[in-house]
Structure 1
Amino acid sequence: MGVKEEIHAQIMGALAGAKFPLETPEELLGSFPDGAETTCRSGEVELKAGDAGKVLTGEDFPFKSAKEVADVIVERAGL
């Protein structure tokens, strides 16, 4: 499994208990187990949930699933 796939899977796992749709960035961060400090790691790559704000815009909301969140973050983070 590559870095992109591993981070994607970790984001989906971290959001497994989230109640969708997520309407705001605050709801998204609140859905991660450790909020903005939730960290996904693969090899040398580390991505914190709080970093999602750097790649997401208001146009991305609402998110309807964990897969949708993971797809967008992984694609825009350039992994």
Structure 2
Amino acid sequence: MSIRDEIHAQIEGALKDAKFPIKTPDELLAAMPQGAATRCKAGDCELTAADAGKVLKETDFPFKSAKEVADVIVERAGL
């Protein structure tokens, strides 16, 4: 599994119990198990929810699924 795929899967896993749609960045952070401190790590790559939030735009919301969140984050983070 590539680093990109592993991080993607970890983001989806972190949001498995989230209630969608998620309408705001604050709702997204609240849905993460450890809030902004939630970490995804694969190989030498580490990404926190706070880091991920820096690549999201207001126009990305609302998110309809964990997969959609993961797709946007890994694409924008350049993974």
Mean Cα deviation higher: 35-44 or 48-57: 48-57
Partner secondary structure for residue 64 of structure 2: coil
Distance in 1 separating the partners of 2:39 and 2:53: 14
Distance in 1 separating the partners of 2:53 and 2:6: 20
Query: Percent identical across equivalent pairs?
Result: 68
Gaps of 5+ in 1: none
Amino acid in the other structure paired with 2:66: A
Match of 1:38 in 2: 38
Q: CA deviation at 1:53?
A: 2.0
Q: CA deviation at 1:32?
A: 0.4
Match of 2:22 in 1: 22
Q: CA deviation at 1:51?
A: 0.9
Partner secondary structure for residue 68 of structure 1: helix
Amino acid in the other structure paired with 2:26: E
Distance in 2 separating the partners of 1:34 and 1:58: 22
Match of 1:70 in 2: 70
Deviating above 3 A after TM superposition, structure 1's stretches of 4 or more consecutive aligned residues are: none
Mean Cα deviation higher: 49-58 or 36-45: 49-58
Q: CA deviation at 1:52?
A: 1.7
Aligned residues: 79
Match of 1:47 in 2: 47
